Amino acid sequence: MGENNARLVAVLTGAGVSTESGIPDYRGPQGVWRKNPGAERLVTYRAYMDDPEVRRESWRMRMTSPVWRAEPNAGHRALVDLERSGTPMRIITQNIDGLHQKAGSTPRKVLELHGTASTVVCTGCGDRGPMEGALARVEAGEADPPCLSCGGILKSATVMFGQALDSGTIQQAAKIARVCDLFLAVGTSLQVEPAASLCRVAVESGARLVIVNAEPTPYDALADQLIREPIGTALPGLVSEITDSA
Ligand SMILES: [Zn+2]
């Protein structure tokens, strides 16, 4: 699969890819939020919009998020190596931590299904800006900083529970799943949409499916290869196999 042929590798990444960077699984079925109703309220759109105390608590949580000091790990770096080998590839991620880009993956080749924590968006006018600026305002004493353009409620540019995923992003992800020749599902339980559907679309379109996950997934029976090893060692090995078979 070298740069002289048109084969495309799609890599779906989930929380498991970031746990080795010290970021817990928040959103998954066994994640921090789902197992703690109090925490889940902080990332539920309706509660966030309706309750100023939820917003203040959310800003406190963002201030102390492990995302800001997390560094990419061997799994992220392996995917950078795959891209730099000249293999056509796209990353579809469920993670909001920006670690693929921080590791060196080309931003336009990373589709963020659940948005990004490094940007704030106004729920009133749609204005976007860096999270860093909003956090500086919180640190300076604004417990729930409003939009500087319209006074509306600001939130991180991530998809909260009760919010729809961006339709353009889903369509792009579905297209990648349809046209890829190899679909790697890494560190995702494949129990939440649209990740599960993407996997099905890829297999039905004739792609080889490789699943790298510590726990069984509903798609294991469809996989051509199952890897249970830790991602930090499994992914570099897998990337070597792909680039060596060029
Ligand atoms: Zn606004």
- Which residue type is seen at 72? P
pLDDT of residue 139: 97
Ligand 1 centroid–CA 37 distance in Å is: 29
Ligand 1 centroid–CA 148 distance in Å is: 7
pLDDT of residue 3: 39
Instruction: Assess whether 114 carries a catalytic annotation.
Output: yes
Ligand 1 centroid–CA 131 distance in Å is: 14
Condensed to tens digits (0 to 9), the pLDDT of residues 111-161 reads 999 999 999 999 999 999 999 999 999 999 999 999 999 999 999 999 999
How many angstroms separate the CA atoms of 152 and 82, rounded?
Answer: 42
